[in-house]
Structure 1
């Protein structure tokens, strides 16, 4: 990615292209899953192009087809280039995940816990309460009752963990008293993605919000990594085989051999 115009505000398209570079690096084995997740979170939190640059500076750029290369071109052309989105992003199909009847509208954990995960339908307003307990909300494979969702979390000596996928718009507004709300996953999402506002109050507890890849995307990345490694192994075997072949014409001199 180019260092031109570092103070210019980053666009959603540029964040997604950086995310695509990071996915390629994970598939190549250049990043482990923890470092990939950390950089991906930073990409979605980035406000300017200058914040995006360090995330891919140590990763290879593959020319015109590479996401970082495309973002660099955007910096030079003023953002007029329209590039196709990453293949994994296309698999999210947000429009198909909006609509339907909410699975549940509240969760309660008193000296215990509650959980919502998998293909559940998130209501327009969900309320989670944890008193000396808490809950886990996983939105990676969820549907959404509407495009705008509010998750209200109230905890006393407890906590709630919210897991969101890349591309989902997230805004954290909660208040923590002797506790806190983690806003590290804050960020604009895909243009057609739902927007989730996480708010509430935490006393002597906390609310954590993290971005993680859906299981399908993780499997796709692992499969792509295996395929690339197998292709590299085949190429190395073929190169070694070519290197062992004798040159054409045998071992004789330029006139056909010795008399």
Structure 2
């Protein structure tokens, strides 16, 4: 327990923050999914849902879900805690990168490159690494159209960016656990396409600290 003059720990500080309607709605979705899965009875769901409506702080809400397997319920979770917000630039001095192609080889897009509203990535028995953590976005939505034929495409996004994944996989994999909303004002990355005996993986990763 903290002494009266000690600063609150990060968990205590979060527990005291006022919750918003969106936070209460998220807890409702978690409770509903838990009831459908069988983790909560109907009575338990009704009791907790009533408390969620009246919850005022994150601590009140956390107490309603602490004993639930939230990660197994399939409820999209917002990604919070980013130290910076990815900005959308109205114009760029450099031409946006629109194509990345790898044929039995490897290529990458990273650093301070510029992207627009569309990017085509094709990997044929090769690999493409797309790291969007430091790029300059010039449109509110970037659609990445992926084709992985016996190859792999790895896409890394910063934690504040929204992500929508909608692709097909045939004897391969297409997705990842990165899908979900982002911070208001940040761009959205939409990943679509096909993985045929290949893989397209989208992941979130914090920005590397600047030296």
Where on the TM-score scale, by shorter chain, does this alignment land: which range? Answer: 0.5 to 0.7
SS at match of 1:9: helix
- TM-score between both structures, scaled by the size of structure 1: 0.51
Structure 2, unmatched stretches of 5+, are 1-14, 17-22, 34-55, 64-79
SS at match of 1:189: coil
Match of 1:208 in 2: 201
Residue pair 1:118, 1:141 contacting (<8 A) in 2 also: yes
Aligned length: 153
SS at match of 2:178: coil
- TM-score between both structures, scaled by the size of structure 2: 0.62
1:50-69 matches, cutoff 5 A: none
1:1-259 matches, cutoff 5 A: 9-10=25-26, 48=30, 70-73=57-60, 88-89=82-83, 91-92=84-85, 94-95=86-87, 97=89, 99-100=91-92, 101-216=94-209
SS at match of 1:216: coil
Distance in 2 between residues matched to 1:117 and 1:9, nearest whole Å: 36
Residue pair 2:100, 2:121 contacting (<8 A) in 1 also: yes
Over the residues paired in the alignment, what is the CA RMSD in angstroms? 3.4
Structure 1, unmatched stretches of 5+, are 12-46, 52-68, 77-84, 220-259
Pairwise CA distance, 1:9: 3.2
SS at match of 1:123: strand
Q: Which has the larger radius of gyration?
A: 1
Pairwise CA distance, 1:142: 1.1
Distance in 1 between residues matched to 2:125 and 2:134, nearest whole Å: 28
Distance in 1 between residues matched to 2:88 and 2:180, nearest whole Å: 22
